[in-house]
Amino acid sequence: MTALEKIIDDFSFLDEWEDRYRYVIELGKALPDLPEDKRTLENKVQGCASQVWLVTHVSGDPDNPILTFEGDSDAHIVRGLVAIVLATYSGKPAFEIATLDAIDIFGKIGLVEHLSSQRANGLRSMVKRIREEASIRAAA
């Protein structure tokens, strides 16, 4: 079971929004801290009310690179959202990432409708940035 499959499975057992909220925060707490030297303006995601950083790592075949991501936020709930986004995209080929919309997954687990508009916009900004980077790598 992948990390994302486990997250989706865990959410299926949580009926109350408060329980889901706590689980998102737990996911954020389990996310490794991003080293200070990676908390740069270049790695900062624009469009997020909280501070969010994403770092992309490229490996494998240049024609079909695998992308892995590190990320962090200064807000507990957003850090949990970052953890779900990383579980969705990290370790996949660039062409697959470019066509995969994490917003659909957030809808499937019942999170999108519970996010404030600022958090939802921030989530869309994270997803947009990852998918744009993947599109560039897939086309290279």
Output the CATH code of domain 3-139. 3.90.1010.10
The pLDDT of residue 128 is 95
Packed helices 76-89 and 3-12: angle between N→C axes, nearest 10 degrees: 130
Paired tokens of 13: 């057992």
**What percentage of the chain carries pLDDT values higher than 70?**
99
Q: Dihedral sign, CA of 69, 75, 76, 77?
A: negative
Query: Which residue numbers are catalytic?
Result: 48
The pLDDT of residue 114 is 83
The pLDDT of residue 96 is 94
The pLDDT of residue 66 is 96
The pLDDT of residue 124 is 92
The pLDDT of residue 140 is 67
The ranges of the chain with pLDDT < 70 are 140
Name the residue ranges covered by the structural domains of the chain: 3-139
